Structures are given as structure tokens and as C-alpha cells.
Amino acid sequence: MNDPADACAQLQQELVLLVTGDAPRSRRARQNLARALEQLGLGDIATREVDLAADPAQTLSYGIFATPALLRPGPNGQPDVLYGDLSERDMLERFLAEG
């Protein structure tokens, strides 16, 4: 059985983008995240990408099964999660702003 708490505990002040190789939605998520960070002047926020296709065990570790997904540190050690290809700019900006 997976224990997402272990993986999420590693989330410090960085963003984690869970992707699956070069799948279309993963590709779009990378692009949308990079564009948003740049436009919001948040280019200094550390962003780490985890390829679940290359390392499927990480899916179980994070307990995230819809991809792509953007994770940020949340209260009580649990990450906040934003699913999707991050194409909805308002949602993405709010997510980044609350972090």
C-alpha cells in the first residue's frame, strides 16, 4: 500500500510537477507552468519535475494518479494539488499565488 505522506514530506518550498514522459497534456503542463511563472515573476521558485512514466513507483509514493499534476507545500505537511495541463490560467495563478 502506498504512503503519500512520505513523498510529500519531501516537499519543501519547491513545486513538483508530476508528468508522464512527453504525453501531450504533460507537455502542455510544462509549457503552461513555465509561462505562468515567468509572467508572474516567480521564476526563482524551485520547480522539480517527476516523470511517473519513467519511475512508476513515484506515483504510489505521491499518491497522485491523475497527471499532469502540480504540487506545492500545503498546511499540515499535505501538499496542495492542481490537476490538469494547467491550461486554465486563472486557476493556475491562484494556485501559485496562494503558495
Partner 1 sequence: MNEQQLIKRATDIPGLDAMTGGGLPAAGGTLMLGRPAAGKTVLALQILAHAIARSEGGVFVSFEESCAQILRDAASFRWGPSLAEAERFELIDARPQLGAEVSGAFDLEGLLAAVGLCLERRQASWVVFDGVDHLLRRQRNPLDAIDQVQQLSDWCEARGVSLLLTGKLGDAETAPTHLEGVEFMLSTLILVSTKLVGHRLSRRLRIAKYRGTAHVADEVAMIMDHDGVHLPHGHYAAQVATGRIEASTERLSTGVARLDEVLGGGLYRGSTALISGLPGTAKTTLAASFAASATARGERVLYLSFDEDQEPVVRNLRSVGIDLRGPLDRGLLHFAAREAWSGLVEEHYWALHQALDRLRPQCLVIDPISALLKAPGVDSAFVSIERILDIAHLRGITTVLTSLGTRDDPQGEATLSHTSTLADTWLALDFNVRGGERNRSLSLVKSRGSAHSNQVRELLLSERGIDLADVYEYGTEVLMGTARMQKESEVHAERRRRVLARQQRQHELERRLSQAEAEAAQLRQELALEQQDSVQTEQFDREHERDVLARRSTRTAHSDAPQGDETP
Where does this chain bind partner 1 (CB under 8 A)?
A: 1-2, 4, 18, 20-21, 23, 25-26, 28-29, 32, 52-53, 56-57, 59-60, 63-70, 74, 78-88, 91-92, 95
Helix (H) or strand (E) holding 71: strand 69-72
Cis amide leading into 68 (omega within 30): yes
- Rounded least distance, CB 21 to partner 1, Å: 8
- Rounded least distance, CB 28 to partner 1, Å: 7
- Rounded least distance, CB 12 to partner 1, Å: 18
How many residues can be counted in the chain? 99
Q: Which is nearer to partner 1, 73 or 85 (CB)?
A: 85
DSSP label of 79: P
Spatial neighbors of 77 by CB under 8 A, at least 6 apart, are 5, 8, 9
**From the centroid of its chain, how far is CA 76?**
18
Q: Which is nearer to partner 1, 12 or 72 (CB)?
A: 72
